[in-house]
Each structure stands twice: as C-alpha cells, then as structure tokens.
C-alpha cells in the first residue's frame, strides 16, 4: 500500500493516459500512473497512423528519438468487390517535408517510448498493476483507486480514467455504460514481415516514405466495416474491423474475414511470402458524438477511447486520445493552481475546453454518420462496391459493345439494385450526414 | 465467394506471447444447461476462439489464448451470461507490436 497521497492518479498508459500524465507531471503535479501491462503498450493495438501535430503539442522534438516507421506520402482508398477494387490514390511529393504530418508506427514500441517521456517528466509509473476498482468517499466522490497489487487504496485529488475502450472501472462504478454492440467495432490484425526492399518495391516507395490503404466493400460481407493495409519499415500491418452488432447478426467470424481479405487478389500479392509474427484483436469506439458519456464528475475525468472519443469516419483515435488527455490535464492544473477542490463543478472546465477543440467539433460534424452506415450497411458495403466495380469493368473492357449500350446497362444495374428513390435517398442521406 | 475459408486460430495464437495466470481465469461463464443466444454468438465472435461447446452441449471458455479485446464482454456481460475482468497485472497477452 502506498501511503502518500498524489495530486492525480492516471489509469492506463496508452495514448490518452501518457498525454495526461506527461502534461500533469511537466506542470509539477505529483502523478501516479498505473498500467496493467508488463510495459506501456504491451496490451495496445492500433493500425497505426500517428498524427504529428497532436504529438508535437506534447513532445515538440519527438522526431529526434520516437520510434517512427514511415512518413506517409500516399493514401489509397479502395472500394472492393470479390475479385476487383476501384481505387483512389493520393500521392504528393509535398509530404516529403522537413516535418512530416503523418507517420506509421508500431504501438507497443511507440508507447514504451512515450512512457519514458512521462517518467522523465517526473511521474511515478507502475506497470503490471491492474486497477480493480475506484475508491469513493461517503458522498460518492472519487478519492483514489484499488489495485490488485496493494491490499489497500491509493489516494489522489483526482483520477484520470484513460483505461481505453472497455472502460472497466468507469462502468463498474456506474459512471457510464458498458459499450453497446452497435457502438464498437471488433478489429483483428496481423503483422506481416518482409525484407525492407520488398516492401519498398511492392508499394513504390523509397527511403522512409510510406503508404496506407483503407478498404471497404464486399470484404466486410455487408457488415459496417473497413480493412486496412499499412506499410511499415520491415513489416505490413493488415487488418479488418466490423461492428460487434453485425458480427452478432451475421455469425461471421473475425478470423474468417481477415483470411478472406488476405486472399483477395488485390491483397495477396502484397503479402506474398511474408512471415506473420503477431495476431491481435481490439475494439474501436464507433458510436461517435452521440455515444460520448458524461466526461467528468466529483474527483474524476475520463479521456480517450474510454470516453468514446474516436472518429471512425477518418480513422482517427490516437490523436483524439492524446488531445483529450492533454486538455483534461490542463484543466486539472488550472483548478489546482486556483487551489480549488476537484469537484464536478470545477472539472466542468475540462468539458468546456474539449468542446472548443477539434475533438468535439469533428465528432459533432459526423454525429449522424454512425447510424446511417449501420442502418444502410448492405447498400454502402455490399451493393454499391459491386455496382461500381461492374461499371468500371464495363468501362475499361473493349469488346465491340457501343458505349451508349454500356452506359445504359450500367445505369440499369444501379436502378434495379437500389431503385431511383433508393439511389437518391442514399446519396441524400450520405450528404446530409457528412455536412 | 461465400465458401468458408478454413482458419486455424490456434496457429495464429501461437505467434503471440502469453503469460498465463494458471488457475485464475479472468473470464467466467455462468453455469447453464443449454446455451443462451448470446453464448452461442460467442462461439463465432471471439477472435481467439476461446469459447467452445463441451461434450454435453454447454459453452465453455478457455482464456489461455484470450486477446483481451472485450468483445465477449460487450455481448455477454449485459445479459449476465459471463463475468469479465482483466487478468492480474502483467499476466495475459503481451503484444510485441500491437
Ligand atoms: C485495429 C485498430 C486500428 C486503429 N488505427 C488507428 C490509426 O491508424 N490512427 C489512430 O489515430 N487511431 C487508430 N486507432 C484508435 C486508437 O488506437 C485509439 O483511439 C487509442 O489507442 C486510444 O487511446 P487510449 O489511451 O484512450 O486507450 P488505449 O491506447 O487502449 O490505452 C488504454 C490503456 O489502459 C490500460 N488499462 C486499461 N484498464 C486498466 C486497468 N484497470 N488497470 C490498469 N491499466 C488499465 C491498458 O492496458 C492500456 O494501456 C485504431 C484502433 C484499432 C483497434
Ligand atoms: S476478450 Fe476477446 S479474445 Fe478474450 S475471450 Fe473475450 S472475445 Fe475472446
């Protein structure tokens, strides 16, 4: 049992927890950070794209020693049917800039590095410690945590819940609900190792340039979901995720989806001959703005995935986690410097500051997208990719059919699959939710 | 292309590093005679295929290969079919890459 009392306890050493602990420790607060893994990152899974801007606000010179894989010069979007894909590629040499904007990373390695910065800033970091419960006083105010390591409690003025998507502590304490099956996606992922030169030639890269591919279509078998393929230095991260509620409905298996994705004729050549070294699974919060729970209370705040702060449309999560962790810490520091208690009223400052940031603004913009994609998953993830692919096939195949006939056939295939009202409705709903 | 592809999940789990906390499973299935729909779902939805039917037709969980994703919790905890926790600190899956 640790007798001393801390200014803040941070639960979790992922993106959000490290950002919060670092910011608090840098401001001179006495911080205890608890992580259940053997080291920071040993339990964490990500694609993974790192957004430089949000990290720069925490560690301005991170490029000097952070374990980064490749800076991204190209982004591809694929719409897939069973045999083909229609792609959009964006590649620009402007991304070969002095301070690149996005990188691929390997989470277990990155988190270890991030955690070393937290320690350097003066926080006490204890790994291999699972927090089992929040400790509260007679009035229900959170006053600390209980762990499986000390038979007793550790106390602090405020607890920062950076416990990730499952959010066990917050849900056990009744601060928020267990994530609903239609608000979380299950992603499975493999790491495929290949010689560096092979990756560079397969993806058309030189040096540390990188590419990411996001893929949607029949690979998710009509479920709301996405596949991804990211190039690292000596390996390729490859995975696919779909809503848990869709897995419930369809009875598809996650590894079955992954296997079919790997065998797709557009994907298989990229990983041909690779050595797989890890198979991971993780949930991703997908409920967006409408799923955000209460973010603060007496003696606690919640940040990152635990607060469902994740932008599924843009595949951004780690940057929202880092930003919410940093903002929560700044709010706590302000309350502390005014020598005021960590009450619900005072911690409302965190919510106010978060509302003013891109985190809530972005999530609000897409507040209707999750429901739309979910309800129309058959159209958006099965019917349209097949139709578009068929249209492309007809467009590029030269077989003596007059072009006017081809156009008519294509149009007919769209109308018979979705009807005019369906087509306009889908377009209208998508545009409205996107706005 | 609706044919099921054969996947040996055990082989996949073999790539991973685990520190198993013997005798202290972090997930428990509520005793039952016939499986509820939620329990049946877990047979397929768990990415580590940790849930299996035993010879007498009940759903059992073996947590040794658990990836700690929480999918079974989302499906089976609200219905009361399972009890779900994290393993003790340091135990369970250890991702080298994540
Ligand atoms: C497959 C996949 C791909 C993704 N791709 C991207 C991407 O490309 N770019 C992007 O920005 N985001 C991506 N995300 C999202 C991103 O990973 C998350 O948004 C981000 O990791 C959230 O950070 P966090 O700190 O809130 O949670 P986590 O990173 O999950 O950290 C939570 C931490 O808390 C610890 N913990 C939990 N409970 C306890 C407890 N009781 N006691 C002690 N410790 C505890 C955990 O061990 C963990 O270290 C992806 C996610 C997945 C699953
Ligand atoms: S947490 Fe995930 S891997 Fe572990 S048993 Fe549940 S569904 Fe399977």
Residues A20-67: tens digit of each pLDDT: 999 999 999 999 999 999 999 999 999 999 999 999 999 999 999 999
- H-assigned helices in B1-98: 9-14, 37-45, 71-76
Which chain B positions have a beta carbon within 8 Å of A218's beta carbon? 1
Query: Would residue B40 be called left, alpha or beta, if left means φ above 0 and alpha means ψ between -120 and 50 degrees?
Result: alpha
DSSP, residue by residue, A336-353: HHTT----HHHHHHHHHH
Chain A residue closest in CA terms to B8? A255
Spatial distance between the Cα atoms of A397 and A354, rounded to a whole number of angstroms = 52
Q: Nearest 5°: CA angle at A312, between A306 and A316? A: 75
Q: With CB atoms and an 8 Å threshold, state whether B45 touches A254.
A: yes
Q: How many CB pairs under 8 A join A and B?
A: 143
Spatial distance between the Cα atoms of A292 and A283, rounded to a whole number of angstroms = 16
Mutate to test the interface with A, among B47, B49, B78, B82 (most CBs of A within 10 A): B47
- The confidence band for B4, taking pLDDT boundaries of 50, 70 and 90, is low
Mutate to test the interface with A, among B63, B95, B96 (most CBs of A within 10 A): B95
Q: What is the mean pLDDT of residues A69-82?
A: 94
The string over A285-311, giving b where at least 16 C-beta atoms fall within 10 Å of a residue's C-beta and e elsewhere, is: bbbbbebbbebbbbbbbbbbbbbbbbb
- In this structure, are strands A153-161 and A235-243 parallel, antiparallel, or unpaired? unpaired
Distance A297 CA to ligand 1 centre (A): 22
A positions 346-375 inside 8 Å of B (CB):
none
The answer to whether B23 faces chain A, any CB pair under 8 Å, is: no
Distance A284 CA to ligand 2 centre (A): 14
Residues A136-174: tens digit of each pLDDT: 999 999 999 999 986 678 999 999 999 999 999 999 999
What is the three-class DSSP state of A153? strand
Residues B20-76: tens digit of each pLDDT: 999 999 999 999 999 999 999 999 999 999 999 999 999 999 999 999 999 999 999
Residues A208-223: tens digit of each pLDDT: 999 999 999 999 998 9
Q: Would you say B4 and A263 are in contact if contact means Cβ atoms under 8 Å apart?
A: no
The verdict on the CB of residue A17 being under 6 Å from ligand 1 is yes
- The confidence band for B1, taking pLDDT boundaries of 50, 70 and 90, is very low
Which ipTM was obtained for this model? Answer: 0.95
The string over A47-73, giving b where at least 16 C-beta atoms fall within 10 Å of a residue's C-beta and e elsewhere, is: bbbbbbebbeebbeebbeebebbbbbb
A positions 56-115 inside 8 Å of B (CB):
82, 106-109, 111
CB atoms within 10 A of CB A266: 17
In A105-183, DSSP assigns E strands to 124-126, 131-136, 142-147, 153-161
Tokens of A199: 């990756």
Ramachandran angles phi, psi of A264, nearest 5° = -60, 135
């Amino acid at each position: 049992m640790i007798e001393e009392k801390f200014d803040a306890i941070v639960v979790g050493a992922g993106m959000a927890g490290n950002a919060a602990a670092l910011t608090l420790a840098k401001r001179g607060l006495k911080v205890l950070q608890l992580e259940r893994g053997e080291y920071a990152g040993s339990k964490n899974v990500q694609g993974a794209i790192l957004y430089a801007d949000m990290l720069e606000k925490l560690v301005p010179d991170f490029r000097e020693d952070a374990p980064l894989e490749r800076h991204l010069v190209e982004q591809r979007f694929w719409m897939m049917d069973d045999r083909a894909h229609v792609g959009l590629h964006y590649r620009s040499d402007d991304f070969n800039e002095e301070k690149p904007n996005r990188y691929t990373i390997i989470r277990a390695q990155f988190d270890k590095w991030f955690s070393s910065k937290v320690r350097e800033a003066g926080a006490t970091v204890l790994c291999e410690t699972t927090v089992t419960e929040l400790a509260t006083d007679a009035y229900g105010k959170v006053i600390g945590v209980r762990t499986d390591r000390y038979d007793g409690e550790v106390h602090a003025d405020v607890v920062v819940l950076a416990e990730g998507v499952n959010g066990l502590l917050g849900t056990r304490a009744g601060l928020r609900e267990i994530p609903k099956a239609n608000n979380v996606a299950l992603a499975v992922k493999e790491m495929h190792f290949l010689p560096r030169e092979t990756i560079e030639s397969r993806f058309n890269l030189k040096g540390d340039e990188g590419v990411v591919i996001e893929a949607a279509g029949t690979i998710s078998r009509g479920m709301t979901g996405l596949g991804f393929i990211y190039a690292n230095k000596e390996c390729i991260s490859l995975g696919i995720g779909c809503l848990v509620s869709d897995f419930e409905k369809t009875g598809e298996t996650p590894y079955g989806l992954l296997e079919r994705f790997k065998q797709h004729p557009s994907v298989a050549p990229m990983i041909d001959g690779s050595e797989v070294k890890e198979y991971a699974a993780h949930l991703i919060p997908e409920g967006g703005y409408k799923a955000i729970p209460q973010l603060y209370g007496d003696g606690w705040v919640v940040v990152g995935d635990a607060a469902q702060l994740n932008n599924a449309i843009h595949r951004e999560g780690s940057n929202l986690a880092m930003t919410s962790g940093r903002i929560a810490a700044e709010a706590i520091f302000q309350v502390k410097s005014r020598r005021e208690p960590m009450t619900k009223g005072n911690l409302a400052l965190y919510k106010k500051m978060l509302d003013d940031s891109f985190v809530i603004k972005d999530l609000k913009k897409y507040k209707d997208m999750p429901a739309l994609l979910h309800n129309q998953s058959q159209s958006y993830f099965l019917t349209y990719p097949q139709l578009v692919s068929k249209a492309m096939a007809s467009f590029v195949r030269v077989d003596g059919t007059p072009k006017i006939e081809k156009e008519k056939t294509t149009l007919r295939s769209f109308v018979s699959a979705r009807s005019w009202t369906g087509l306009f409705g889908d377009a209208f709903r998508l545009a409205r939710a996107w706005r | 292309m609706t044919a099921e592809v054969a996947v040996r999940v055990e082989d996949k789990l073999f790539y991973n590093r685990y520190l198993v906390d013997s005798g202290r499973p972090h997930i428990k299935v509520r005793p039952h005679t016939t499986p509820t729909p939620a329990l049946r779902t877990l047979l397929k939805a768990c990415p580590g295929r940790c849930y299996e039917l035993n010879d007498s037709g009940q759903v059992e969980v073996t947590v040794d290969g658990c990836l700690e994703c929480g999918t079974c919790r989302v499906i089976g905890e609200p219905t009361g079919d399972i009890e779900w926790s994290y393993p003790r600190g340091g135990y369970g899956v250890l991702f080298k890459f994540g």
